[in-house]
Structure 1
Amino acid sequence: MSDFSLKKPPVVLVHGRNTDSGVWGELKQFLINNGYSENMLFGWNYDTTQSTNEVLSAKFKEYVKGVLQQTGEKNVDIVAHSLGSLPSRWYIKFDGGKDIVRNWISLAGPNHGTALGYLCAIWDQGCKDMTPDSWVISHLNEDTETPAPTKYTTIWSPGDEQISPPTSTKLSGADNIEVSSMKHNDLLSSQEVFGHILSTLDSGN
């Protein structure tokens, strides 16, 4: 059984497609300004063209293991943007992460797929995994979409031009938060979004 203590665990930030952990600069500074130490904030870099279930989940599991060893903690919180929602979710559901991850927060994640994934699915496995009828999406959403004891939060915007439809981000059993209309990548710099992230992290599990 997980030991979710009152102490806030380290936060692992998972970027989206064709970016890197540098996209988290504004959120990291916001969290530091609100009580987090920089050495408890971690950004995972990965090749977004690789397979969610065959490659990335195992790599993410090893990364989280390293974070726990470095910090001496037993649990982590995760904030994922866009495609980053898929390998981090797979880790929770299928690779033992549900007893490690206290909070999982998805910003504009293609949790039920996005139609735009078809545009690059032929040459990009990450895109293929994001298509609504992909093997990855179907397995992530079979049975329960939000296996306990992890707490799940999704943050989505009706103005998201990359997740089609934008409501694809929402999950059954999660706290699904609709924010004001903004573009897909604008969630990475929105004070409104940051406020919801901080409230979720502060609320524990």
Structure 2
Amino acid sequence: MLPWKRVVRSLARPLTALLLTAAVAAVPAATAHASDAPTWGSPRSSAAESGGGWNDYSCKPSAAHPRPVVLVHGTLGNSVDNWLSLAPYLKKRGYCVFSLDYGQLPGVPLFHGLGPIDKSAGQLSAFVDQVLAATGAAKADLVGHSQGGMMPRYYLKFLGGAAKVNALVGLAPDNHGTNLDGLTNLLPYFPGAADLIKATTPGLADQVVGSDFLTRLNTGGDTVPGVHYTVIATKYDEVATPWRTQYLSGPDVHNVLLQDLCALDLSEHVGIALFDRIAFHEVANALDPAHATATTCASAFS
């Protein structure tokens, strides 16, 4: 290997690792996934979570909650760990809840959400079709964390998802990309680093502010008609930064800052999806606005 190539790799690899660490949404623990790694074109839900009450394909939506809820994990998350708290929370309230794994790189069995985001959106499309067929529902609601709150917008805008989705709720979604607290501004100082990240983990490259993917996604407006959008953000987010770029603009958008609901809420990017019941209460309000109740600090105990 030429000396300059060796230098590029020595610098780019630590930077890639840094981006991976900063973007983590949940630490995968479901080692059973390793034996049946999907391709980018195949949606998959794990059997592991069915014991927790979700991904039950015999579940039929009730009159009170007529739409199944599809949970979409974040970068490096998976269909189990990302939702160990929110999925049971929604199941207890009478929803049919489903989750998928997407964006798995060939040969990387444990880490999800790293493949090209447009391909991941195709996996989501196939999974929603699977859920609708099983439940008999006409539409689904989507709840996503981080990349999982942004990626579905590609499905809605370009893959016909708007006809099959009633609402999209994003928990700390990087709707307009992230600069990782300024870390991505360092990429030009590491020749070849950006290309290496794009080649090895395209799902990360797609989320950097100004990427070709994000430019296409946001050109012509953030939203599409017929879908209700909710964004739930925290000012302590250290991954999807600056946090205000998570917000959407459009005629049917509700942007929420957790600290406006409860100033004592200290959740950051990971915590908002893993254990923040104040955020969960606001998710429930977004899924059933006709029966919404005020979200306050007391919601943490509801």
The one-letter code of the counterpart of 1:185 is V
TM-score (norm 1): 0.90
Report the CA distance between 1:158 and its aligned residue. Answer: 0.4
* Paired position in structure 2 for 1:198: 284
- Structure 1 or 2, whichever has the larger Rg, is 2
TM-score (norm 2): 0.62
* Paired position in structure 1 for 2:233: 156
Regions of 4+ moved over 4 Å:
none
Q: Does the 8 Å contact 1:15/1:21 carry over to 2? A: yes
The one-letter code of the counterpart of 1:93 is K
Distance 2:147 2:83 in 1: 15
Distance 2:64 2:84 in 1: 26
Distance 1:140 1:158 in 2: 24
Q: Deviations over 1:33-89 (max 9, x none)?
A: 2222xxx20001112111111x11211111111011111111000000001123311
Q: What is the aligned-residue RMSD (CA, Å)?
A: 1.8
Q: Does the 8 Å contact 1:8/1:202 carry over to 2? A: no
* Paired position in structure 2 for 1:50: 115
* Paired position in structure 1 for 2:164: 100
Q: Deviations over 1:120-179 (max 9, x none)?
A: 852311111101101111112111211110000000000001111011110002200000
* Paired position in structure 2 for 1:21: 79
* Paired position in structure 2 for 1:10: 68
Distance 2:90 2:115 in 1: 30
Where in structure 2 are the equivalents of 1:23-38 lying within 5 Å? 23-36=82-95
Distance 1:152 1:128 in 2: 25
Distance 1:28 1:19 in 2: 14
Q: Does the 8 Å contact 1:112/1:169 carry over to 2? A: yes
The one-letter code of the counterpart of 1:110 is D
* Paired position in structure 2 for 1:132: 209
Q: Which has the higher contact order (CA 8 A, sep 6+)?
A: 1
Report the CA distance between 1:11 and its aligned residue. Answer: 0.3
Q: Deviations over 1:83-142 (max 9, x none)?
A: 112331100010000111101001111100001283785231111110110111111211
Q: Does the 8 Å contact 1:107/1:154 carry over to 2? A: yes
The structure richer in strand per residue is 1
Distance 2:278 2:122 in 1: 33
The one-letter code of the counterpart of 1:137 is L
Structure 1 unaligned residues grouped into runs of 5+: none
